[in-house]
Amino acid sequence: MNLTLKIWRQKNQQDKGGFKDYKISDISPDMSFLEMIDVLNEDLVKKGEDPVHFDHDCREGICGMCSMVINGRPHGPKQAITTCQLHMRSFSDGDTITIEPWRAKAFPVIKDLVVDRTPFERIMQAGGYVSINTGGVPDANAIPIPKNMAEDAMDAAACIGCGACVASCKNASAMLFVSAKVSQLALLPQGMIERKSRVEKMLMQMDAEGFGACTNTGACSAECPKEISLTHIARLNREYYSAKVYSENV
């Protein structure tokens, strides 16, 4: 396959940045998208040019580091996969592929396709944990949990925090990410004791980081590689309103 790549190049956070075109040839359809970028970078290094900087780690669809907007879609044209799981057979010979970083005020570009996603970490630090003493690790069946609640908690826990929800949202909202992390703990007995303070702290931190508001367009769930459901946002809203009513009456 012979391709034209339009890649966003930006030296640092202060640089204006812009697209640069690259021609690449003899790409196997069986290569992953990241392997294709690796081939490009090898050619650039041989020419003495600066390689394209991008995030990657596991390359198995687990960590969510491979964050790229490909032809206008986070993680590319396929559903329910990360960029590292996208293969070049999804494109055609002669295609022009546009590659950008996540676009969000809360995710400033560090270099090229690498963005600063530490705001997610600070949201988790604000309340995405259980701090009470729950004792030793109990047997898996020792705490009775309804099957539907256990499955909902597991579905929420599947969120890998990649930020595709933010990149796809017209308001750069982090509501899907936060709702998954709130649901994950609010549904389980260990997390219920702190559920009211947790949701208030995490939403307060989300707003402080500069993420936008949710307008329920559903783009976040549609582009999520783990298909996190919008029902978690509904649960987040219920948790928040309940917490506010409780705090106002205490």
pTM as predicted: 0.93
What is the residue-averaged pLDDT of the chain? 95
Chain centroid, CA 115 distance in Å? 11
**pLDDT reported for residue 144:** 83
- Beta-strand pair 69-70/96-100: antiparallel
Among residues of the chain, what percentage have pLDDT more than 70?
98
Same domain, 53 and 146: no
HSE at residue 217, side-chain half, CA atoms within 13 A, is 14
Same domain, 55 and 19: yes
Q: For residue 134, what is the domain's CATH number?
A: 1.10.1060.10
**pLDDT reported for residue 36:** 98
Count the domains in the chain: 2
The model's pLDDT over 193-250, given as tens digits with 9 standing for 90+, comes to 899 999 999 999 999 999 999 999 999 999 999 999 999 999 999 999 999 998 776 5
Same domain, 198 and 219: yes
Least confident of 58-72, 137-151, 159-173, 204-218: 137-151
**pLDDT reported for residue 123:** 98
The model's pLDDT over 162-186, given as tens digits with 9 standing for 90+, comes to 999 999 999 999 999 999 999 999 9
Same domain, 44 and 102: yes
Q: For residue 57, what is the domain's CATH number?
A: 3.10.20.30
**pLDDT reported for residue 33:** 98
User: Among the three residues 59, 86, 110, which one is the final residue of a domain in this structure?
Assistant: 110
Same domain, 138 and 32: no
User: Among the three residues 92, 110, 128, which one is the final residue of a domain in this structure?
Assistant: 110
* Contacts with 66 (C-beta within 8 Å, 6 or more apart), sequence order: 33, 34, 54, 55, 56, 57, 59, 75, 82, 83, 84, 162
CA atoms of 120 and 126, how far apart (whole Å): 10
Among residues of the chain, what percentage have pLDDT more than 90?
88
| Spatial contact of 137 and 73, defined as CB atoms under 8 Å apart | no
Query: Coil, helix or strand for 24?
Result: strand
Same domain, 146 and 28: no
Same domain, 76 and 128: no
Same domain, 155 and 242: yes
Q: Which domain holds residue 126?
A: 117-249
User: Among the three residues 82, 110, 138, which one is the final residue of a domain in this structure?
Assistant: 110
Same domain, 50 and 158: no
